[in-house]
Amino acid sequence: MQLKLLIFKLVLLNGIIGTMLPVYAHSPNETLEQWEADVEVNQLLRQGKELVEQGKLGEALSAYQHVISLESENPRIFSAIGYVQATQSNFPAAVEAFQKAIALEPDNSNFYYGLAYSLASSEAYAEAADAYDRTIELDPNLVNAHLGLGIVLLRQQNYDGALDAFSRLTTLAPNNVIAYRTMGTILLQKQQYAKAIEVLQRAAELAPSESAIQLDLGIALLELNNTPKAIAAFERAAELNPNDGRIHFQVGKILQTEGDVDAALTEYRKAANLQPDSVETRKAIADILLEQQDYLMAVVEHRQLIALKPQDAQSYYHLGLALKERQRIEEAITALEQALNLYQQQGKTAQVETVENILDELEE
């Protein structure tokens, strides 16, 4: 949200506030009252602009709202009000103000951009996407509109649409690291690893000090079995951010795949210390302990895992096995019955049969 707000401020301050002051051409037939009103409007607009620049948004809003009582047909006043309301996170009021500005001046791209931002911040993503589309129609070169469109499409899980928006953004702004970074994440989720590597490498060139890019790059390389380069990427990520548990988790996966289970367990524990609520890390630790027949610690880890993910049938199953080996039969039966219920709900017949056989053995 902070990034979006910064972009919003840059666009609207340059596109709305800066050009908001109207130029009045006074005619000889104008009454003294009209001339005085024009002078007051100009004074209030200048005052509002100065207050915005000073960060005194409440006072600026009061000034702009007073202007409306004197001149209700100036769209830039409503856009200025929309800007102030959005900056104060009053997004429904901002939407209303920008809509009024658009009604008075329907071909202003900045007004649509402000509307789109305010709708997106209100989580009205479909409407925001429409407003961003209209912004781009009016100003195809407005980089931040393409960025905003990509973000709201991503929020709607429209990954293909988001990829297209970010791709068009890279054409307009070839050095936009946000676009490449986000495209890489989307391509990872779509399991298009070769394409993900291509865009993440470009992101890494643009932002060589960002550990998250190196982490995603390592994951993509690992998925394509390019272990040496994956390790290099993870090592680089660890240098940049040694306190990121995800890096230790990925290194642990590599070590476990290569058969060095003890070293993998060490890395998983580092990851768990840094991110104690990571389900995948806890699961990796618990399963290794069970395989190593460290049943006491396996019980401890599986209970922690179940606390994080209470509907995971396999965790109850493994907990039951560990308890069984510790001769804690009643507790084992309870855990296995819970696993059985969850497997039945999931329709996993093979697992149901396995658990039933163990329960029959314990209840004899």
Is residue 161 a part of any domain in this protein? yes
Residue 325's domain is classified under what CATH number? 1.25.40.10
Is residue 331 a part of any domain in this protein? yes
- How far, in Å, are 19, 103, 107, 109 from residue 81 at the CA level? 14, 15, 18, 16
Q: Return d(Cα 228, Cα 254) in angstroms, integer.
A: 10
Structural domain of 302:
295-364
Domain boundary among 146, 173, 200: 173
Do 155 and 302 lie in one domain? The reply is no
Domain boundary among 173, 192, 219: 173
- How far, in Å, are 135, 302, 303, 325, 364 from residue 312 at the CA level? 46, 10, 11, 21, 27
| Residue in this structure with the two tokens 């009016």, named with its chain if needed | 138
Q: Return d(Cα 221, Cα 103) in angstroms, integer.
A: 51
Is residue 228 a part of any domain in this protein? no
CA dihedral 56, 59, 63, 66 (to 10 degrees): 160
Q: Return d(Cα 336, Cα 340) in angstroms, integer.
A: 6
- Positions of E strands within 189-242: none
CA angle 33/35/39 to nearest 5° reads 115
SS3 26: coil
Count Cβ atoms below 10 Å from residue 68 Cβ, excluding itself.
16
Do 7 and 152 lie in one domain? The reply is yes
Tokens of 276: 């104690």
Q: Please give the chain's pLDDT, 364 residues, in tens.
A: 455 554 454 444 444 433 333 323 333 343 333 333 444 445 555 655 655 565 666 666 666 666 666 566 778 878 878 887 887 788 898 899 899 889 999 999 988 998 999 999 999 999 999 999 999 999 999 999 999 999 999 999 999 999 999 999 999 999 999 999 999 999 999 999 999 999 999 999 999 999 999 999 999 999 999 999 999 999 999 899 988 999 999 999 998 988 999 999 999 999 999 999 999 999 999 999 999 999 999 999 999 999 999 999 999 999 999 999 999 999 999 999 999 999 999 999 999 999 999 999 987 6
Q: Which of 128, 12, 26 is nearest to 76 (CA)?
A: 12
What's the number of domains the chain is made of?
2
